Structure 1
Amino acid sequence: MPASAAVSAPAPTGAPAPVHAPTSAPTSAELLDFVRRTAADSALVASLPLDPEGRTWIRLEGPRGSEAWLIGWPPGTGTGWHDHGGSYGAFAAAAGGLTEDSLAARLPTEGWKTLELADGVDRSRQLTPVQGRAFGPHHVHQVINESADTHAVSVHAYYPPLPLMRRYSRTGPVLRLEQVELPGEW
């Protein structure tokens, strides 16, 4: 997760108190509720330092042992195609707007370097403030701030905490596995 600044912050106002030894995993609905409530916390969103050149972030306490982030997106920046290493999660826009391009297909996680995608698997959605979406453990997507002049801010939560991220390149229908990143490398 390249960025120019990273800081830690407590859970947002109204968020559940962190539990360091969860008795059960949060549901996708709970993660979605968390990211939407956090995205609506204007004081927290305003506390994120924004950099005109690179993404910035604050690590948050997510519900019941989940990993959570508040991320700032300068105009024209994006993630590139990636997955979340088997974690499920949710994210919501908090300021500005984001575009999510995703694949409506379950990809194998092992044993391939290049795949040709079938017609009709591409999905795209626009997220405006406090809009969010949950996703499953096999979700492959890219998130982009397509604005030419406005920062976007978003909130993300994952469970279990990200064990790895796979990064892909894409040319037309061809998806290629480029890199596997471990925690500490983003």
Structure 2
Amino acid sequence: MPDVQSPARPRARAHDGGPGAAELLDFARRTAADRALVASLPLDPEGRTWIRLDGPGGSEAWLIGWPPGTGTGWHDHGGSRGAFAAAAGELTEQSLAAAIPTEGWKTLELADGVDRERRLSDGRGRAFGPHHVHQVLNLSPDTHAVSVHAYYPPLPLMRRYSRSGAVLRLEEIERPGEWT
């Protein structure tokens, strides 16, 4: 039987008119497969490197290089939905399967069973909603990782957290000018 491709279906737009999580993930996966783009990212053994990309539908997108042993720390995306995909190496995402309130707290005790962990490599990716709290890590002792990330609406802020056991603590709020 011949290989028949169905016509491309337009991705559903989110209620706010921007790209939905599935469209962001599709973009991240396609971009992660662009070997020339991935190879153009300068890698630094001491710290993360990045290139800002044009994401779909006005989204914010980044190609990020991760030296061995680096990570983001616990954070959220200020109410933006997003997606990311591994382009090279392997990343580990640790996330919380819990609704975290965005206002009115400094310290929160997490319930048992909220921790999730997944490993992403070879174009595998992950989409998430606007209240997602996670950290992304390159746990390799000797191999760089590269990934593609996309967010909509463009990140208004990022909340940074520390974690000790079941206690999550809001540490700081970063604005766009502080990470670009």
Equivalent residues in 2 for 1:33-72 (5 A)?
Answer: 33-72=26-65
Per the alignment, in what secondary structure is the counterpart of residue 184 of structure 1? helix
1:24 CA displacement? 2.6
Structure 1 residue runs of 5 or longer lacking an equivalent are 1-22
Q: 1:180 aligns with which of 144, 168, 173?
A: 173
Query: 1:110-146: per-residue Cα shift (whole Å, max 9, x none)?
Result: 0000001000000000001200010000000000000
Equivalent residues in 2 for 1:13-32 (5 A)?
Answer: 24-32=17-25
How far, CA to CA, are the matches of 2:89 and 2:101 in structure 1? 34
Q: Paired residues, what number?
A: 164
Q: TM-score, normalised by structure 2?
A: 0.90
1:62 CA displacement? 0.1
1:37 corresponds to which letter in structure 2? R
How far, CA to CA, are the matches of 2:154 and 2:128 in structure 1? 14
Partner of 1:114: 107
Partner of 1:97: 90
How far, CA to CA, are the matches of 2:17 and 2:162 in structure 1? 35
Q: 2:156 aligns with which of 139, 153, 163?
A: 163
1:82 CA displacement? 0.1
Query: 1:49-100: per-residue Cα shift (whole Å, max 9, x none)?
Result: 0000000000000001000000000000000000000000100000000000
How far, CA to CA, are the matches of 1:149 and 1:109 in structure 2? 36
1:27 CA displacement? 1.2
Q: TM-score, normalised by structure 1?
A: 0.87
Please give the root-mean-square deviation of Cα atoms over the aligned residues, in Å.
Answer: 0.8
Partner of 1:154: 147
Computing the radius of gyration from Cα coordinates, the structure with the larger value is 2
Per the alignment, in what secondary structure is the counterpart of residue 27 of structure 2? helix
